Structure 1
Amino acid sequence: MTTHTHQTAPTQYVEANGIRFAYRRFGKPGTVPVVFNQHYAGTMDYWDPTVTDGLAQDREVILFNNAGVSSSSGEVPTTFEEMGANAIAFIRALGLTKVDVLGISIGGFVAQEITLQAPDLVRKLILIGTGPRGGEGMGGLTQEAQKIFSTTFDPPEHLWLAVHFGPSEAARTAGKAFLERKHRRQAGRDPEMTEAAGNRQIEAVIKWGERRPDAYDYLKAIQQPTLVVNGNKDVIIYTINSFILQQNLPNAHLILYPDSNHGAPYQYPELFVKQATLFLDA
C-alpha cells in the first residue's frame, strides 16, 4: 500500500492533448487502477473519502479533473465524445494500458465514451446515477434538477444534499455525514469550477440527451462487464435510465438502493464499496 489516502494524496500533473491534467493517485500499486470520472460542477474534492479509500484498500484509485475543470488547464468541451477522448489521452499519458472506469452522473457519460473509443483500455465499468444517450428525461435538466439548481441554499453546501440525497430524515442524516467527510481534506484542495465551465458541461448534457432513433443501439458495443448503480428515486437522471442501461448493455448488473437519490453510494458507502469490490474482483 502507498501511505497516501484521499486526504493526503498530493495533486500531480501530466500533459496530454495540450492539456495539463490535475490528478491524485493512491491505494495499492501494481493493480488495475480505477479511474474516477466526476459529476457536473464537481472536482476531485467532491468524491466521498469512504468510497475512494475503501476501494483503495485492494487496488489503486486515480482521481482527476478533465479538461477545463478546476485545477486542470484547457476548456471544457461541449460534447462528451471530446471529454472521453481527453480522458483517454490522460490515462495513456500515465502509461496505463488497462484500467477499470467509474463514472457518476455526467462522469458516467464520459465513462461510456472512454469504453466506446478505447475498448482495449477498459477492463470493467461502473456507472452510477447516469444514463444512455437520448435517455428518458435527459434532453436537459429535469424539472426537479432545475428547481434544485435555481434555489438558494443556506449554507450553500446543502445544494448537494438536495442533489444527492432524498427528503427522508434518514437520507438527510446520511447526507450531512457525507458533507462532513467531503471536507476532511483541508490541505491542497481543488478550486471550485467556474460558472463558464459549468455552462459548457450543461451544453454537452443537452446534446447527449437529445432523443434520436435507435438511441440505445450503441450500448451493444460495450462488451465489458458493467455495474450499474443508482438510487431508487433519482430526480437528477431518472432511475428508469439505469434500467435502460442494464437492459441494453450486453453484460450488466443493476443495483438500486432504497430511499435514495442521485448519490446513492454516498448514502450507503460501506455497502457500495463491498459490492463494487465483489464486482471488480470477480
Structure 2
Amino acid sequence: MAALQTVQTQSASVNGVNVAYRRFRKQNTFPLLYVNHLRGSIDLLDPLLFNIIAKNREVILYDSFDIGHSEGAVPDSTTAMAFIATKLLAAVGVSKVDVIGFSMGGRVAQILAWDYPQLGAAGSNDVPPTEQEMHGLFFYPSETSLAAGKDWWKRIHERQVDGEERKEFPVGQGAGAQLKAIFAFTVDLNNFDRLKDITAPTLVTNGHTDVMSPTPNSFILQQKISNAQLIIYPDSGHGHLFQYPELYAQHLELFLSDL
C-alpha cells in the first residue's frame, strides 16, 4: 500500500496548466483534500501525519499553480486559489470531498465552504526559510516543542524518489503572491461577517501559542461558525498538527467519522 514517502506524483490539466497531486491509500469514503500553508509544497508534508490519516480515508494532496511541481503563476487571492482546487477535483473526477486547510489553506477552505458548498461531503523572500526559522514559526519555544520540530523537519525530508527533483519552499514572486492573498483576505471585513454563513461541520484546531495566526482567533472562529468544534493543543504553536501527528490524526478521524 502506497505511503506519502513513495506514492507517485501525478498531474492534471487545470485550464491548460499542469497541476501536480498525490492521491493515496484507503478509498472507502469521500477523499480528504488537504490545502497547504503559505510557502508549502507537497514535498514538505509530514508523512507521519498523512500516513496515519490515510489508514482510514483516501488523501489528496496537491501543489497549486506555480508551487512545487505545478506550473502556471501563483494567484494573489484566496478566491482564485479555491477555484484552482475545484478545477483540480473536477479534473481527477472527484465531486465531493472533505477539506482540511492549514494556515493559508484554512482561508482557502473557508472560500470553498462559502462558494462551493456542493463539494462538501458533510512572505515574499528570495531565500527559502531555514529549519530554525520554521521552528520559530511553527513551534512553541520550549524544549519539548522544539524537539518535536526537529523530528518534523527530518520527516518532511524522508521522501527521496529517484528521478524526481524535490520542490520545497516557493520563493520570490510566488511567495509574494501568497502573502498578498493572505493580507487581502485578512483585511476584508466581509469575511468575518460571512463566518455565520458556514453551515458545514467544521473542526478548528490550533496550538497554545500561535505567532502566525493568533490562537484567540481560533476561538472566535468556533464561536462564529454555527457547527464548529475547537481543539487547542498544549505546548505548541502554528504547527501543532506536526507536533502531535498521531493525536491530531485521531481527532480528525473522530470528527470526520461522525459526519
> Aligning the two structures, in what range does the TM-score lie when normalised by the shorter sequence?
over 0.9
Within 2, Cα distance between the matches of 1:7 and 1:122?
Answer: 28
Q: 2:19 aligns with which of 18, 21, 35?
A: 21
Deviation of 1:7 (Å): 0.4
Q: Deviations over 1:79-99 (max 9, x none)?
A: 101111111111111111110
Partner of 1:9: 7
1:119-198 to 2 correspondences below 5 Å: 119-124=117-122, 156-187=130-161, 188-192=164-168, 193-198=170-175
Deviation of 1:215 (Å): 4.5
Which amino acid letter does the alignment assign opposite residue 67 of structure 1? F
Deviation of 1:158 (Å): 2.1
- The answer (yes or no) to whether the contact 1:45–1:189 under 8 Å persists in 2 is no
TM-score, normalising length: structure 1: 0.86
Partner of 2:111: 113
* SS of alignment partner, residue 22 of structure 1: strand
Q: Provide structure 2 residue ranges, at least 5 long, that are not aligned to the other structure.
A: none
Partner of 1:79: 77
Within 2, Cα distance between the matches of 1:23 and 1:215?
Answer: 29
Seen in structure 2, the aligned counterparts of structure 1 residues 200 and 165 have a Cα distance that, compared at 3 Å, is: same
Q: Which aligned segments of 4 or more residues in structure 1 are displaced greater than 6 angstroms?
A: 149-153
* SS of alignment partner, residue 120 of structure 1: helix
Identity fraction in percent: 39
Which amino acid letter does the alignment assign opposite residue 183 of structure 1? H
Q: Provide structure 1 residue ranges, at least 5 long, that are not aligned to the other structure.
A: 125-140
Partner of 1:40: 38
Deviation of 1:17 (Å): 2.2
- The answer (yes or no) to whether the contact 1:43–1:70 under 8 Å persists in 2 is yes
Seen in structure 2, the aligned counterparts of structure 1 residues 33 and 152 have a Cα distance that, compared at 3 Å, is: closer
Deviation of 1:150 (Å): 11
Q: 1:68 aligns with which of 43, 56, 66?
A: 66
TM-score, normalising length: structure 2: 0.93
Over the residues paired in the alignment, what is the CA RMSD in angstroms? 2.0
* SS of alignment partner, residue 36 of structure 1: strand
Deviation of 1:152 (Å): 9.9
* SS of alignment partner, residue 98 of structure 1: coil
- 1:275 paired with 2:254, answer no
Q: Deviations over 1:176-233 (max 9, x none)?
A: 1111111111113542323210011111111111153x65221122211110000010
